[in-house]
Amino acid sequence: MALEVVTFGCRLNIVESEAIRERALAAGLDDLAVVNSCAVTSEATRQARQAIRRLKREQPSRPVVVTGCAAQIEPARFAAMPETARVLGNAEKMKPGTWAALARSNSLLGDAEAAADAKIAVSDIMAQTILSDARTGRFAAHTRGFVQVQNGCDHRCTFCVIPFGRGNSRSLALTEAVAQCRRLSEAGAREIVLTGVDLTSYGRDLRDAPTLGRLVRAILRALPELPRLRLSSIDAVEVDDELCEAIAIEPRLMPHLHLSLQSGDDLILKRMKRRHGREDAVRFCAEMRSLRPDIVFGADLIAGFPTEDEAMFSRSLSLVEECGLSFVHVFPYSPRPGTPAARMPQLPGGIVSERAGRLREAARDAHRRHLDARLGRPLSVLTERGNTGRAEDFTLVRFQHDVAPGEIVAVAAEAADEKALIAA
């Protein structure tokens, strides 16, 4: 048996899972299962519970530790599961001492008779005010590294529970963020991705309030040997002027932005308590294209938000084309306990599913157009494991021959399937 870490949710969780793996192994916990959960939807929470049961069924003698946002928000629910040995909060999971203490524990197996309260180690996440614990991730046979430069969120969108799992916004000091990027670059990462819960709020809690744009420029100046720097999901209304300048003039800042849009209807956006309107999104995409003609956009969109009627939904549907989105993540709305949206008039589940299906179809059509437009064009691709790679605009490329990870190669694909370009 060996340590197994099962991860749900965002890139931030992926980064933290790698840190969990390192710290658990350093503590000698090489016979353990860890579920790093997500709470963004009820389906994500259901999948985490399902994984816990599966892990225990497959290896009954191996303890299962549960952590992540769902565990932070609903610790008692997970502790009540007989398969669970411990429930750790999001702050606790990142502390090396937590895993060392678990290694010394004589009751880690936590059977069905164990008191649920005794299994829980979850502190008040809102009490966390500093992001000082460096969190990076680079994985075996991968050539992309991740640096967590921000955590938490100060906004309170009516559908979202993540601030209650992650706490308020806090940022990694600029010098430390640059140092982490340098370590990854020296370890061989050819691309670094900056991650966070609300990435464009970076720096507001720091003494000199550096912006995300300032951080990007500092990293590129400090690491002239780094071929690629990429951003994870951003909020367009928070993009600062220096970041716009970097997008325009820095070729090593990848021309791909994933936007937190959520809806294309102004009234729904207001009920979501978002900070932008439909025209803000359309205008932002147009302005970024004027600065960087090769830029590509992805976005998150929610289908079936409470009170959404067909006309409102149609405005989300048309936003895919109006913003020129190429990568769309579709989320069927699901009520999260304790959020204002959960108290709003809900749509029937069938309508939510049907609208999510139509939005996914529009997303597939948009992605197919994106792929077709790149056929025969020269692309710079960073190769990864499994004979795949990513172009600068995040287009997936599959090679029909063996390629070694970590090379940047020029290709011109002549074919495509539903998800990727095919390079001979």
More confident residue, 324 or 94: 324
Residue 134 included in any domain:
no
Residue 139 included in any domain:
no
pTM beyond 0.85: the answer is yes
65-74: average pLDDT: 94
Q: Find the DSSP H helices in 348-424.
A: 349-374
Lowest pLDDT segment from 65-74, 105-114, 226-235, 324-333 = 105-114
Q: Do 205 and 66 fall into the same domain?
A: no
Predicted local confidence at residue 257, as pLDDT: 98
Q: Do 204 and 255 fall into the same domain?
A: yes
Q: CA quadruple 179, 184, 188, 194: dihedral positive or negative?
A: negative
156-163: average pLDDT: 94
Predicted local confidence at residue 133, as pLDDT: 61
Give me the count of residues in the chain.
Answer: 424
| Per-residue pLDDT tens over the stretch 262-289 | 999 999 999 999 999 999 999 999 999 9
Phi-psi region of 189 (alpha: psi -120 to 50; beta: other; left: phi over 0): beta
Half-sphere exposure of 147 (CA within 13 A, CB side): 30
Amino acid of residue 265:
D
Q: Do 38 and 176 fall into the same domain?
A: no
**Final residue belonging to a domain, choices 123, 154, 174:** 123
Residue 233 included in any domain:
yes
Q: How far apart are CA 163 and CA 273, in angstroms?
A: 14
Q: Do 264 and 411 fall into the same domain?
A: no
Domain count, the chain: 3
Q: What does the buried/exposed string (b/e) look like for 368-397 if buried means 16 or more CB atoms within 10 Å of the residue's CB?
A: eebbeebeeeebebbbbeebbbbbbbbbbb
Lowest pLDDT segment from 37-51, 133-147, 274-288, 317-331 = 133-147
Residue 138 included in any domain:
no
Predicted local confidence at residue 112, as pLDDT: 46
Q: Do 360 and 382 fall into the same domain?
A: no
Q: How far is CA 54 from CA 14, 17, 102, 108, 155, in A?
A: 20, 19, 22, 18, 35
- What domain range includes position 383? 377-423
Predicted local confidence at residue 327, as pLDDT: 97
Q: Do 389 and 343 fall into the same domain?
A: no
Burial class (CB in 10 A: 0-12, 13-18, 19+), 418: exposed
- Which segments within 166-303 are labelled E, that is strand? 170-171, 191-195, 228-231, 256-262, 296-303
Amino acid of residue 188:
G
Predicted local confidence at residue 256, as pLDDT: 98
182 contacts: CB under 8 Å, gap ≥ 6: 222, 223
Residue 407 included in any domain:
yes
| Per-residue pLDDT tens over the stretch 331-388 | 999 999 889 999 999 999 999 999 999 999 999 999 999 999 999 999 999 999 899 9
Q: Do 52 and 164 fall into the same domain?
A: no
- Count the Cβ atoms, other than its own, within 10 Å of residue 33: 24
Residue 139 has pLDDT above 80, yes or no: no
114-133: average pLDDT: 82
Residue 345 included in any domain:
yes
**Final residue belonging to a domain, choices 345, 372, 399:** 372
| Per-residue pLDDT tens over the stretch 209-257 | 999 999 999 999 999 999 999 999 999 999 999 999 999 999 999 999 9
* Residue-wise DSSP of 9-53: SSHHHHHHHHHHHHHHHHTT--S-EEEEE--SSHHHHHHHHHHHH
Lowest pLDDT segment from 39-48, 140-149, 323-332 = 140-149
Predicted local confidence at residue 1, as pLDDT: 59
Q: Average model confidence (pLDDT) for the chain?
A: 92
Residue 269 backbone phi and psi in degrees, to 5: -60, -40
